Structure 1
Amino acid sequence: MKFIKQFSIKNFIMLFIAGVINSVGVTMFLQPVRLYDSGISGTAMLLSQVTPDWMSLSVFLIVLNIPIFLFGAKKQGWVFTVYALFVVAIYSLSAWVITDVLPVDVTSFSPLARDDLFLCAVFGGFISGVGSGLAIRYGGAMDGIEVLSVIFAKRLSMSVGTFVMIYNVILYVICGIVLKSWILPLYSIVTYVVALKVIDYIVEGFDRSKSAMIITTKHDEMCRALSEEFGNGITFFDAKGYYSDKERTIIYFVLNRFQIGQMKNIVHSIDENAFISISEVADVFGSSLKSDK
């Protein structure tokens, strides 16, 4: 019972939507013109094209992904694994419905972009990226390559991103060799880049917050002015300059990109020698960041 309580109905609904969206991008834009998705999804697309007709994309998505997710269950946890298996199952089922059930011809060209490779690459990558991003945001994953990267990247002394990139480069090279043409693999790289950027925006947000770190000797006045202007919670802590050997205070708070200019004006009007460092923040959690005004 405790295990079941870890799951969310909302997550399952969003994962269902993610699987359907991803299948639309792949089956209606990429697969008809023989462009390739990244990771295991791209591998399944290639295999489905060089094997008998009954070995469809849907079959390979299940055959390739499920063992990988089960293999990584101990590393990733069973909640993630169940979510991932669910979204892959929806992706596979939706792909089968679109290609074999619905009265839509996706055998030789895209129903929406026809045979325009650039449009298919961009919109296929965008739509599948939305699906993959939603899957990650709501606790699952659309592709087993992400699990493999977590398991093996550290053992191979590389980052997760590098592992995924190397896998995809190898996949596209194999596609070029099998097809005896490099045009489609090169367009597939466009798909991969578009999808990657969309996933980042979906997972981390379109309007990312900024964090400001200010080093000053006038923290009382500065904190008061920043709090009155923005209504943000502010954290500060003592520090000491290495070269000057003088006491300093580091002020840390989160704001949005439209507030940066005003923040700089306030800081430098109080302490023209203050040091300001601004970083991008993907997600912000916690109710204490804003004061009740």
Structure 2
Amino acid sequence: MGFKALNKYIIKDIVMVIIGSLITALGINMFLIHANLLSGGLSGITLIIQYVTGFPAAYSLLILNIPLFFLSYKKVNKKFTFLSLIGTIALSVGLILTEPLKNTIQVNDILLLGLYGGVLNGIGVGIVFSNHGSTGGLDIVSALIKKKYGNFDIGTITFIVNFIIVSISACIFGLTSALYTLVSMYIASYLVDKVIKGFNRQKLILIITEKEEDVSKVLMSELNRGVTFLYAKGAYTKKDKKVLYCVVSLSQLPKLKLIVKDIDEGAFISILDASEVEGRGFKKASL
């Protein structure tokens, strides 16, 4: 990859990390703070500090991340550290810039505020993650632990920290608020995963049939999708077989099943979810 191409990708990552961080800040200020709810990770801890002491989360986020950045710079990938620094600064600046919007949403339904806060938080953080960055905090801690211990379960750390955050929320604002925070965290976590893996709903198809040549030809001509033969052997029959491998969109699935059953009524079709597909005929998942 040439220098210009490399620069283009880095600039794109920086821009997307900033956009994702600003979306996260918007979700926190417009919805979560309005309902006295918390987000996950270090930003959730800074919100607790803000609720209890009045010290702005934007500043405590920067302060708490400083030692983590030093460790990350020495121990982890430099690009990750740089993009995490950009993400943290963008999130802090975003929290300051969007602070006047805290009371613009005239809704008192805590569930709605938590849901929409979780949606924006999840989309924002997902964009940051999918462009090789982070918003600091637990993400850097996770990277450090993974670097040192390899297969250590990062999810356990995240769960413990978020459990502590929810418990503190219950002590300060009561059980109801804590449960709403939990719902918001779940929505955010779900959307982070969706944004990273892509929203494209593709299906991976495995077909076992005695008429593999006929089926493959019709699938390629009717659906305009590539088909690959995987050579296999039946465990019971000991016969060599050709398994058809194909990826189609969700909308093409009914037609595929109709085609296969029309050619071979006894064909075996296995349908699997493909969280992300890239290549000819499929657009790269992006946000």
TM-score strictly above 0.5: yes
| Match in the other structure for 1:84 | 84
Checking the alignment, whether the CA contact within 8 Å between 2:114 and 2:180 is kept in structure 1 is yes
Q: Report the residue type matching 2:11 in the other structure.
A: I
| Equivalent runs, 1:1-293 vs 2, <5 Å | 5=7, 7-51=9-53, 53=54, 55-72=55-72, 77-99=77-99, 102=100, 104=101, 106=102, 110-149=103-142, 151-152=144-145, 159-177=153-171, 179=172, 181-287=174-280
Following the alignment from structure 2 to structure 1, what is the Cα–Cα distance between the partners of residues 214 and 137?
A: 52
Following the alignment from structure 2 to structure 1, what is the Cα–Cα distance between the partners of residues 118 and 252?
A: 33
2 and 142 in structure 1: CA distance in 2 versus 1, 3 angstrom threshold = same
275 and 148 in structure 1: CA distance in 2 versus 1, 3 angstrom threshold = farther
Checking the alignment, whether the CA contact within 8 Å between 1:217 and 1:247 is kept in structure 2 is no
CA deviation digits over 1:40-91, x for unaligned, max 9?
111111123333x4x4201222223344355345775222222222111101
Checking the alignment, whether the CA contact within 8 Å between 2:76 and 2:144 is kept in structure 1 is no
Q: What is the Cα-based RMSD across aligned positions, in Å?
A: 2.8
* 1:263 CA drift (Å): 0.9
Checking the alignment, whether the CA contact within 8 Å between 2:42 and 2:137 is kept in structure 1 is yes
180 and 194 in structure 1: CA distance in 2 versus 1, 3 angstrom threshold = closer
* 1:92 CA drift (Å): 0.4
| 3-state SS, counterpart of residue 243 of structure 2 | strand
* 1:247 CA drift (Å): 1.2
| 3-state SS, counterpart of residue 238 of structure 1 | strand
285 and 156 in structure 1: CA distance in 2 versus 1, 3 angstrom threshold = closer
Checking the alignment, whether the CA contact within 8 Å between 1:210 and 1:278 is kept in structure 2 is yes
CA deviation digits over 1:105-157, x for unaligned, max 9?
x3xxx420443311211111111122112112222123532343455479597
Q: Report the residue type matching 2:169 in the other structure.
A: C
Moved more, 160-169 or 242-251: 160-169
5+ unaligned residues in a row in structure 2: which ranges?
none
Following the alignment from structure 1 to structure 2, what is the Cα–Cα distance between the partners of residues 138 and 16?
A: 10
| Percent identity of equivalent pairs | 30
TM-score by length of 1: 0.84
Following the alignment from structure 2 to structure 1, what is the Cα–Cα distance between the partners of residues 282 and 42?
A: 40
Following the alignment from structure 1 to structure 2, what is the Cα–Cα distance between the partners of residues 196 and 32?
A: 20
Checking the alignment, whether the CA contact within 8 Å between 2:200 and 2:276 is kept in structure 1 is no
38 and 269 in structure 1: CA distance in 2 versus 1, 3 angstrom threshold = same
* 1:240 CA drift (Å): 0.4
Following the alignment from structure 2 to structure 1, what is the Cα–Cα distance between the partners of residues 31 and 154?
A: 28
TM-score by length of 2: 0.85
Checking the alignment, whether the CA contact within 8 Å between 1:19 and 1:94 is kept in structure 2 is yes
| 3-state SS, counterpart of residue 8 of structure 1 | helix
142 and 181 in structure 1: CA distance in 2 versus 1, 3 angstrom threshold = same
